[in-house]
Structure 1
Amino acid sequence: MKKCAILSMDCLDDFESYDTLIEAPLLALGWQTETVSWRSKNVDWNNYHAVIIRTPWDYQDDAPAFLRVLEQIEQSSAHLENNLNIVRWNIDKIYLQDLEKNGVTLVPTLWHQRLTDKQLTCDNITSYFAQLNCQQLIIKPRISANADNTFWLKENEIAVKLPAINSAFANRDYMVQPFMENIITEGEYSLFYFNGQYSHAILKTPKNDDFRVQEEHGGRLAAIAPEAKLVEQATQCLDAIAKQHQMPLYARVDLVRFGEQFALMEAELIEPSLYFNMDNQSAERFAQAFVTRMNRLSL
């Protein structure tokens, strides 16, 4: 029996995780799983044949420390999925620029460095509205998860929210996007790929008077059969990722309707919820995709 560590965090009590659903199909294929927090000390990664990054949803609190742990795993005899190069590339959302260069349609974005010793002013943020030609903005960290430190902003709210924004981005690079109204009126689509193969799709909608689609923030989920254009653009994104790196074990491609097409919100390659609960066969597909990859490596 081979051993696989499922990389997680110290406590998942405030989160919805469905990774227990892959335990039985992996076991049936000869792989015993053990959940390990990325913050655990003195772990001998050589005791595992493989490590799958799954739910380290606090990594953004100390991204350098998280990457050091992944470096230790890659230096051991354990095989890491998704691999360190993909994580390093995907951990800062500026990776989206690489995908755009490969023809992927993005939500319009302004990229900014951390504030360090300066402060944003009302005029600075007013200029963001002008540059993006919108009435509502999203300002969020370039390294983030769970919608932490993400601001939904209208022009008449600038003065009230400015102190919190300056505090949030004093030591974080950040990005600015127009608020995509379709997230509220229609929702955000997530398509899941295992080893390059489409698995399933869901539509996520926020609760009333919110913009966050995560379950932890009251977001609602629905399994869907995606329209052809949606699959086409998600697959185009996956192909662009494969041009940058090898095909990842798993990818979640998040898109929102944008005129006559769809725009990429994010390509989640580090720790996305894969919503195995939304498709009865998805956990088995994931397990099979993982074992297929490991067999190619003779693990």
Structure 2
Amino acid sequence: MKRCAFLSMASLEKFVCYDALLHAPLKRYGWHAETVDWRDNSIDWNQFDAVIIRSCWDYQNNPAQFLAVLATIENSRANLANSLEVVRWNLSKIYLRDLEAKGIPIVPTEWFHGLDVAALPPLFTHWQTPEIIIKPVISACADDTFRLTPTALTQQAKTLATLFQERDCMVQPFIPVIVTEGEYSLFFFGDEYSHTILKTPKSGDFRVQEEHGGQLQSVEPEAILLELSRAALAAIPEPTLYARVDWVRTDNGFALMELELIEPSLYFNMDAASAERFARVFAAGYFRGSKALRFVSAHT
């Protein structure tokens, strides 16, 4: 039986994770899966046939170390999914600029290399919005994400200046429909569409993650969401084993929130066939290209 590692963090005690639902279907395809801590320097990656990046929900605290570990894995005999090239491209949310340049609609965004707080008040008028969102370009789990009115911006100016003094960050208008309707997530394994969920925040919050009280429901995506998602996937540097595409409805149509290719929750609990779908795509070699060919030829 071939060995597969799920790259995770030391403790998932404060998180909701559904990757264990993959164990049984992977076993049916001849794979034994186990969860390992990405920060464990004692691991010999050559003992694995494949390593799948999964619940590394603390990588944003040390992205350089994270990339170094992935480089070690990619240089071992193990096949890394998604690839190091994809991760490097997707690590910073600046990738959204690449997608926008290719015609993918995104939420209007201003980018800062070291935050100039004085540049923020005019954005309320520029976007005709009563609230803005500010967050690091390298982030996960809504860490260091602020929803601000002009008054709150004044009150937290010193905190923001200190927090983002030497960090790249992004500022967007707050999209109220995130609270009233929610955020749509579409899941793809290889080039195969899997399922869609709608995530809505708890009352009084704007964060849709379950860890923050967000609620989930399975939905059928509108045709335009599938079309836009496939266009976004086509812009990725390499084909991927998995992708999650997050959208929000705006007055001008759907806008991309994020294209998650590193450690998105894939919500196998929300679609009974999704774990089997993932396992089948993975066992088949998971994508075309040199890495996939090496994977298939070495392990079939």
Q: Give the corresponding residue for 2:275.
A: 283
TM-aligned CA deviation for residue 227 of structure 1: 1.3
TM-aligned CA deviation for residue 129 of structure 1: 1.9
Q: Deviations over 1:96-141 (max 9, x none)?
A: 11111111000000011024xxxx44x3321232333322100000
Q: Deviations over 1:180-239 (max 9, x none)?
A: 111011100000000011000000000111110000000010000111112111121112
TM-aligned CA deviation for residue 171 of structure 1: 2.8
Identity of aligned pairs, percent? 53
Aligned: 1:274 with 2:266? yes
- Number of equivalenced pairs: 291
Q: Distance in 1 between matches of 2:146 and 2:21?
A: 34
Moved more, 125-134 or 278-287: 125-134
Contact residue 74 and residue 80 of structure 1 kept, 8 A: yes
Q: Which amino acid aligns with 1:81?
A: A
TM-aligned CA deviation for residue 168 of structure 1: 2.0
RMSD of aligned residue pairs (Cα, Å): 1.2
TM-aligned CA deviation for residue 167 of structure 1: 2.5
TM-score when normalising by structure 1? 0.94
Unaligned 5+ segments in structure 1 are none
Q: Which amino acid aligns with 2:279?
A: A
Q: Deviations over 1:235-284 (max 9, x none)?
A: 2111222xxx1211000000001225210000000000000000000000
Q: Give the corresponding residue for 2:140.
A: 145
Q: Distance in 1 between matches of 2:19 and 2:283?
A: 16
Q: Match of 2:7, SS?
A: strand
Q: Distance in 2 between matches of 1:260 and 1:114?
A: 30
Q: Distance in 1 between matches of 2:214 and 2:158?
A: 27
Q: Which amino acid aligns with 2:34?
A: E
Unaligned 5+ segments in structure 2 are 287-291
Q: Give the corresponding residue for 2:23.
A: 23
Moved more, 286-295 or 53-62: 286-295
Q: Which amino acid aligns with 1:218?
A: G
Q: Distance in 2 between matches of 1:222 and 1:151?
A: 26
Q: Give the corresponding residue for 1:247.
A: 239
Contact residue 107 and residue 264 of structure 1 kept, 8 A: yes
Moved more, 65-74 or 228-237: 228-237
Q: Give the corresponding residue for 2:13.
A: 13
TM-score when normalising by structure 2? 0.94
